[in-house]
Structure 1
């Protein structure tokens, strides 16, 4: 809604568009419980938002000047499309995404702002996605909004060179959006499928344009398709997480795997290799069943990925692959070298590796993981592991 309002009414103040969007949903929460949900909730929301934009301009002091009548006439003629469809929204979202990824803002600020405005992340979720703290994110977003306002922000058509320069930040935003869905840090949800599907949808839109239909774009789509193929198998009927080795492969979505293969082929028609290519290759091998030699390839790709972009999660995943390749004891030593004592997944991996070697040590590590876990679903996973060992 923020993107659509900025695009169709030429709002240069993103904060204003966000406030109007929030007021609109507040209005719905007050009206719908009384009158019932309207036949077309989306149209209702956009109509209310449009009227709030008009009310805002009517009350601005500038409209008390001589130009008031002319401006109001022009505003009344500028209406949202009669049919607010996914195309209208998607076009506005992509336009806003590229507009936010403006080089006048540091790339960390671009991504933080995009995740908050276009992906609906809270400050905490942005901080978790970017592995930093809330105060840092607040400052980044404030500075980013100030920079856009000072530069007279507007949604306008960008040149091919501008689009190319901003694509890396756009892809990173979509990647983080997908990750938040797949490894959700939300308090009560460890998987948020709607975020995964939204990320894929936005990435697919990029393939419709020659300037953005690049190998790295296709590699990112391939990665997301491979990962999404296992979404249904990652949760049981009670909403509890199912670990990879316990998943029912019959629940894996073969169509999504085929889609991943298709986009992987599109991504490898040049010599370019991005982090998305490597992660997609890792995800592909995870879809291969009954082939123990796959861990040799997976470990090799993790070794490459760590050199391109180190992260604690990547390091832990590499340690898991190392254990699969060289044995449990070697995996434990490799994991302990990381010393990520503030991460629940660190102790969770140690608990997993100690299961068949030292049950007491496994329980101790799972207990530490339980105490650090941020979501109820993740806590439930560790609790079950402890009970099973006891």
Structure 2
């Protein structure tokens, strides 16, 4: 019995992450976004019943099918006994605004269509970028409030308030989950791509030292991007470029952190740890991304990531710099300019890169000071250490702090201030 319970405990979290959001999407497509909380309750109750039933009766041969059958039955029961549905939703069902109860199914096409519609519903332009990311993590990826708070290094109460406001906008939105049209897609595709891009970046450039959450964020963004490619209306060059970027970046995740939890700079990464299968997938999607005349920021960033995933090419940094030059014109941002400076150092030397970096005057950015610390390391040790200390004060990531402290120790092993870092930092 104990062994059976352990098996259930191992399987359910995996199934929850994989099936909960699909189940919720189909239920919301059936009820409408106005009743999203009820859809989530039914999905949650389904998994609760699974944990109770499977621990006693064992795991069924097809666990996912078992879950969907229970969810379907719970939904039918809800229609019968919940007065709110009889009084407020039943009339809408009769009018045909939502699917009729007898046509309610969890088939593969329903799940695919519902997931895609849910992505577009959640990416509501009425919400801020941060709120959209939080909603996407909770509704599309099944993350708990605590997990989202950890990812943002924020208090759970802060995340709860953000989600409450965003959900209110979601319920009040007239966006339809049934029969997602080409016009619906065109009106929100840019917001959808940006949200998935930001979700991935929250994982890839995560401040948290929780490796599991970090990788989960990236894998969920990839999963949602794959949903876009499954529909002809959303399988666009931009969508392919974004997925190519995610694959290239994901391929180096295991090489970016040491077994002791320290961050490893790109130049020190063991390329043997790069996932070649993800690089190959990135190549496939990048080729598909050029099936048209448009070159977006996702194309350019995917191109940069491609060259980063190519370990032995003498001209790689020239190619990366050229792509950054184009990206500066297409989608300028201070962080893009800062990243370009690193490529500039590789091509034209650190002296020129320092001059370009200091023109940016990004004194409030820990990445700015990290870069200057790196660029000054062989030129002016005192300045390098100064910038590294500023970066340590500005970052909330313990991993980054430990890595920078180690770099300071490497540059100045006898530094008394470093030995008393607890008082300084």
**Structure 1 length-normalised TM:** 0.78
Q: Is the 8 A contact 2:151 2:214 kept in 1?
A: no
Do structure 1's residue 294 and structure 2's residue 316 form an aligned pair? yes
Superposed CA offset, 1:35-75 (max 9, x none)? 6997478778778877887787778554797x99xx9xx99
Superposed CA offset, 1:333-353 (max 9, x none)? 222222222222111111111
> Aligned-pair distance for 1:246?
0.6
Residue of structure 2 in register with 1:350 after alignment: 372
Distance 1:306 1:37 in 2: 60
Count of aligned pairs = 377
1:98-247 to structure 2, matched below 5 A, reads 98-101=120-123, 105=126, 108=129, 113-119=135-141, 120=143, 144-151=166-173, 154-186=176-208, 188-189=210-211, 192-247=214-269
Distance 1:21 1:350 in 2: 53
SS in structure 2 at match of 1:234: coil
Distance 2:111 2:177 in 1: 14
Distance 1:312 1:292 in 2: 28
Q: Which moved more, 1:259-268 or 1:43-52?
A: 43-52
Structure 1: gaps of 5 or more residues: none
Query: 2:31 aligned to 2, 6, 10, which one?
Result: 10
SS in structure 2 at match of 1:225: helix
Q: Which moved more, 1:15-24 or 1:318-327?
A: 15-24
Residue of structure 1 in register with 2:334 after alignment: 312
Distance 2:67 2:398 in 1: 33
CA 1:188–1:372: 2 relative to 1, 3 Å: farther
Residue of structure 2 in register with 1:265 after alignment: 287
RMSD: 4.2
Query: 2:407 aligned to 367, 382, 385, which one?
Result: 385
Structure 2: gaps of 5 or more residues: 1-19, 94-98, 414-425
> Aligned-pair distance for 1:106?
6.2
> Aligned-pair distance for 1:287?
2.0
SS in structure 1 at match of 2:178: coil
> Aligned-pair distance for 1:107?
7.4
Residue of structure 2 in register with 1:326 after alignment: 348
Superposed CA offset, 1:254-282 (max 9, x none)? 22222222221111132110000100111
Superposed CA offset, 1:164-191 (max 9, x none)? 3322222112212221221113354498
> Aligned-pair distance for 1:207?
2.1
